[in-house]
Amino acid sequence: MLETAKMKYLRLFVILLLALILNSCDSESFEAESQRQIRNMMYEISSDFCLGNVYGILDKVHNDYLHKGQIVWHLNQEILDRLARFQLLEIEVIHIEFQGERFATVHSRDHYQSSIENVYYSEPEASGIFSYLKRENGKWLIYGNQMWIKQ
């Protein structure tokens, strides 16, 4: 009987230890999965840009988008202006900064190209139009920095 009590405690200890390990893996797997999703989204944005697919980019925008006092309409105009000037966009994600599990900021180097010029932007410092994200219903969306004042 003494042996079975020790076995019960040992089993309970092992179960608790496994639960702790699995719980810590969840936060790591959340961040790793979010990193993958966000990097894929940035690749899709650059692909959509190169194809001239404005609607593909706008499908990745949150309904409550607000960035430096500008709403989705302004974002659409900015994308159209850049498409008129450049044919290619390459987004190199340097770092993704998470604020909890619902918000993220993408630090990237955006390379716009045309036949006559190459322009690099360090984001979010330059404009940040694609840099501020919100996770909703398990999907990351472009959210803007939510500031009402254009800086």
- pLDDT value at residue 29: 87
Render 69-94 in DSSP notation, one character per residue.
Answer: TB-HHHHHHHHHHHHHH-SEEEEEEE
pLDDT tens for each residue of 100-141: 999 999 999 999 999 999 999 999 999 999 999 999 999 999
- Residue 28 or 31, more confident: 31
- With bands split at pLDDT 50, 70 and 90, how would you rate the model's confidence at 23? low
Extended strands (E) in the chain: 88-99, 103-113, 118-123, 132-136, 139-142
Of 19-23, 73-77, 101-105, the poorest mean pLDDT is in 19-23
- With bands split at pLDDT 50, 70 and 90, how would you rate the model's confidence at 86? very high
| All domains of the chain in start order, with CATH | 30-142 (3.10.450.50)
The span from the CA of 123 to the CA of 71, in Å, is 19
Measured CA to CA in angstroms, residue 36 lies from 79, 96, 126 at distances of 24, 10, 24
Phi–psi pair at 119, nearest 5 degrees:
-130, 135
- With bands split at pLDDT 50, 70 and 90, how would you rate the model's confidence at 50? very high
- Residue 41 or 13, more confident: 41
Measured CA to CA in angstroms, residue 32 lies from 13, 43, 90, 97 at distances of 29, 17, 22, 12
The span from the CA of 4 to the CA of 13, in Å, is 14
